[in-house]
Amino acid sequence: MPPEDASEYARRAQEEFHAEAQELLELVGRELLQLDEEFSQGREDPERLNAVFRAMHTLKGLAGLFAYERLAQGAHHLEDLLDQLRLGRLALSRALLDDLFTAVDQLGRALASGREDTAGLDQALRRLRPHEAERGSNARSYVLDPSVVAVLSEYEEHRLAVHAARREPLYRVRVRHPLATIDQHLETLKRALKPQAEVITFLPAGGDEDHLELELLVAGALSTEGLALALELAPSEVVTVPFVEGPAETVREKPTPTSGAPVALHPPEPEVRPALATVRVDLRRMDRLLNAVGELGLVRGALTTAADRLRPGADLAALRAELVRLERDLGRNLAALQRGLLEVRMVPLGQALERVAREVRKLSRALGKELRLVITGVDTAVDKVLVEALAAPLQHLVRNAIDHGIEAPELRRERDKPAEGTLAINAWQSGSHVVIEVEDDGAGIDPEAVLARALTQGLAEPEAVRGLDRAGRLSLVFLPGFSTRDRVTETSGRGVGLDVVKTNIARLGGMVDVASEPGVFTRITLTLPITLAILPALVCEVAGRTYALPLASVSEALKLHPEEVRLVGAREVTTLRGATLPLCRLAVLFGHRAPERHRGGLVAVVALAGRRAGFVVDAIQGQRDVVIKPLGASLRGVRGFTGATDLGEQRLALVLDPAGLLEEALSAPDAPGGAPHAT
């Protein structure tokens, strides 16, 4: 292949490696979190350790293939340690889990930074060395046929020893299944037994050309009757294996197998399914896209035929009807193609929430706080771009909740609270938006203390905050540089936190709200659009200029008559179904026109996160699906706009940011019609 093709192939291969490696690390982090939770509850699922071990083994191979030698060495080190854990040669402990989390985080940083920056990884691996000690053997085993023992793997022997140490019964279960469906039957058996027992191995025991007989070794804390019921077998097909007291090595004394010894048929290891760090496309979605493209091809062929019919003497009425039908078909298929492409971009929000869960575990340990994390809505689908962009804001929110919100266990007991605090992250879809709540049952926020702190730090002028209600005072925590700490610590006191959250969410076209009750709770709510790609918009005209207002935030549009406008203070308002609606004249806000009181027009009512305002425009041209293009670097910081779009026929329009405009309009109580602040 030509050099440029080889270079492009290498670049794409590197991108694939980084995506696959990141997915494997996400999987390891998720399984370690589950392992940590089970360890805290005194439970154990050997498949979790197996999943982590297999993922690390795969990462080692990938890193070696792409010449990431230090990364491969680190993964190999962790693979060896995990192998010792799953074989029972190392004892799982809280300290070992902490060091495993640190090592996996450092692997991720080494992957992101390139081949050279591995100092953190080297240090994390050194911390794992003291854990590498042999664990004592068990003093009990099972009485098994030597021919069976001879074909067991080392891992299967270990699992037998674990169950023997717990003095859990071992059963030999004989089953018979059709050859064509044997794999499905075995997986069904494993799922049926998993809550109470473990299938150690499968041993062939005969059969014919259509059926296969297997003997299962099943260990677990259930009775013979319970096992038969779970497998829906007759009790006569279940045989209990007795114990023998003595050294655990009894089960490992393998005689030389004879030619007639059975060969073990080990349960198939489940496929490693990495976390969704890149967009993975379901084949059914691809089929729908291909069908839509195929339909578009048919429409194109029909249009070509219609064009050929444009000749002297053609039946123009019939041709016009045909073109109208084709235009409808074209619109229908383009809409299907658009929906399909948007579906491809959608990924579960759980990807971002799992990263937050690791941060919660790490920080609660560091600060010595007992914490229960509750997450709901992990399957809520959002745009892939949003998932990546939400990582930093959510991290700031949970750090703030743990450091400032959740009290120390001793203080919680003094306040008649459970020593264990609760941090809840809830997500759900609301129309065309996704809502994420981060709530803790900690000390809460005192709005009077926030106001006093903002004045002390010089972040607000007394005249500007005079007359603020409770919600307004609480919102001062989002001021740049605001902090309640006088001393800088590793986690707080730098004046960087909630203002970063607000800024980042605003860039995504979202809003942030805070609610709190001192001593009871603090809840911060993020409201964002589900997708940032293609969205329906209301095309409006303001002072001779065209703007696109995302329709997902518009609850309704109505005509405004001059006599319906009145003043409350210096702000124009109207009444909508018995409720007061603040008005904001976009021509005034954007500086196109001087304030004109009691002037009529059309109103687009924007409602977000429980707040609403009416944006007054000169005309509404209709609804369009628009593709948002980002603004240049010089315009990116201008509030009130999220990008631009091409309306066709060489017409461009700025896309308005409903969240930014709503905040801008409602934060200017002294400005008639909503005077501009930052635009």
Q: Coil, strand, or helix at residue 305? A: helix
For the residues 340-346, what does the mean pLDDT come to?
74
φ/ψ of residue 148, rounded to 5: -75, -45
Average pLDDT over every residue of 550-565:
86
Closest CA to 552 of 582, 574, 573, 527: 527
Other residues' Cβ atoms within 10 Å of the Cβ of residue 607: 14
How many other β-carbons are positioned within 10 Å of the β-carbon of residue 416? 6
Q: Which of 386, 628, 355, 345 is nearest to 529 (CA)?
A: 386
Interval 295-307: pLDDT, tens: 777 777 777 777 7
Q: Which of 313-317, 403-407, 410-414, 563-567 has the lowest mean pLDDT?
A: 313-317
Is pLDDT of 439 > 90? yes
pLDDT at residue 477, rounded to an integer? 86
DSSP alpha helix (H) spans, 309-402: 316-345, 350-367, 384-400
Residue type for position 606: V
The per-residue pLDDT for range 597-622, each reduced to its tens digit, is 667 789 999 887 678 889 999 999 88
What type of residue is 629?
K
Distance (Å, whole) CA 452 – CA 193: 61
Instruction: Render pLDDT for 475-493 as a digit per residue (tens, 0 to 9).
Output: 888 887 777 665 545 445 4
Give the pLDDT of residue 525: 92
Mean of pLDDT values over 159-175:
79
- Cross-strand pairs, 560: 601
Q: What pLDDT, on the 0 to 100 scale, is given for residue 259?
A: 35
Model confidence band, residue 624 (pLDDT cutoffs 50, 70, 90): confident
The pair phi, psi for residue 179, each rounded to 5°, is -60, -35
The answer for residues whose C-beta is within 8 angstroms of residue 440's C-beta and 6 or more apart is 401, 402, 405, 406, 421, 422, 423, 424, 521, 522
User: Residue 533 — φ and ψ, nearest 5°?
Assistant: -90, -85
Contacting residues for 212 by C-beta, under 8 A, at least 6 apart: 176, 177, 178, 179, 182, 204
CA diameter of the chain: 103
What length does the chain have?
Answer: 679
| pLDDT for the residue numbered 267 | 37
Picking from 470, 503, 506, 473, the residue whose alpha carbon sits closest to that of residue 609 is 506
User: How far is 437 from 521, CA to CA, in rounded Å?
Assistant: 12
More confident: 499 or 527: 527
In whole angstroms, what is the distance from residue 604 CA to residue 614 CA?
6
Alpha-carbon separation of residue 362 from 376, 405, 660 (angstroms): 20, 16, 34
So what's the pLDDT on residue 533? 66
Q: What is the DSSP letter of 551?
A: G
18-22, 276-280, 379-383: which range is least confident on average? Answer: 276-280
One-letter amino acid of 141: S
pLDDT of residue 453 exceeding 60, the answer is: yes
Helix axes 119-128, 69-86, angle to 10 degrees: 20
The three-point CA angle 549-551-552 to 5° equals: 125
- Residue spans of beta strands (DSSP E) within 179-328: 197-207, 211-220, 238-241, 243-245
With the C-alpha atoms ordered 381, 387, 390, 394, is the resulting torsion angle positive or negative?
A: positive
Contact yes or no for 74/126 (Cβ under 8 A): no
* pLDDT tens digits, 31-55: 888 888 888 877 777 788 888 888 8
pLDDT at 440: 93
- Cα 412 to chain center, whole Å? 31
Of 653, 658, 669, nearest to 614 by C-alpha is: 658
pLDDT in tens, 204-240: 777 676 777 878 888 887 777 777 776 766 445 777 7
Percent of the chain with pLDDT over 70: 80
416-435 pLDDT tens trace: 999 999 999 999 988 778 89
Which stretch of 383-397, 537-551, 656-670 has the lowest confidence by average pLDDT? 656-670
pLDDT at 282: 58
- Distance spanning both ends of the chain, measured CA to CA: 53
366 phi-psi bin (left φ>0, alpha ψ -120 to 50, beta other)? alpha
Q: Are strands 579-585 and 611-617 parallel, antiparallel or unpaired?
A: parallel
> Is the CB of residue 628 less than 8 Å from the CB of residue 533?
yes
Statement: residue 634 has pLDDT above 50: yes
Residue 139: pLDDT above 60? no
Sign of the four-CA dihedral 630, 636, 642, 646? negative
Which whole number is the average pLDDT over 78-87?
82
Residue 551 burial (CB < 10 Å; 0-12/13-18/19+)?
A: buried
Nearby residues of 416 by Cβ (< 8 Å), 6 or more positions away: none
Rounded to two decimals, the pTM is: 0.60
Distances from the Cα of 205 to the Cαs of 232, 255, 344, in angstroms?
A: 19, 20, 47
Please tell me the predicted confidence (pLDDT) of residue 464. 72
As a whole number of angstroms, the distance between CA 354 and CA 363 comes to: 14
Q: Which residues have a Cβ under 8 Å from the Cβ of 614 and sit 6 or more positions away?
A: 560, 574, 576, 581, 582, 583, 584, 603, 604, 605, 606
Q: pLDDT per residue over 457-476, tens digit each?
A: 888 787 777 777 888 888 88
Radius of gyration of the chain (CA): 32
Q: Which run of H or of E encompasses 98?
A: helix 94-113
> Could you identify the residue written with the tokens 């935030």?
553
Q: What pLDDT was estimated at residue 615?
A: 92
Q: 522 to each of 148, 316, 425, how far by Cα in Å?
A: 60, 68, 12
| Amino acid letter, residue 645 | T
Q: What are phi and psi of 308, to 5 degrees?
A: -65, -25
C-alpha 174/C-alpha 458 separation (Å) is 78
Query: Residues 230-283: pLDDT tens digits?
Result: 676 644 577 777 766 544 444 443 333 333 333 333 333 333 333 334 455 655
Per-residue pLDDT tens digits for 305-315:
777 777 676 67
pLDDT attached to residue 668: 55
Task: Enter the tokens of residue 114.
Answer: 């390139």
* pLDDT tens readout for residues 71-82: 888 888 888 888
What's the mean per-residue pLDDT of the chain?
A: 76
Q: How far apart are CA 235 and CA 181, in angstroms?
A: 24
Q: What is the pLDDT of residue 547?
A: 92
Q: Is 160 within 8 Å of 239 (Cβ atoms)? A: no
Cα 200 from Cα 99, distance rounded (Å): 30
Q: Is the pLDDT of residue 497 over 70?
A: no
- The pLDDT value recorded for residue 672 is 41
SS (H, E, C) 435-447: EEEEEECCCCCCH
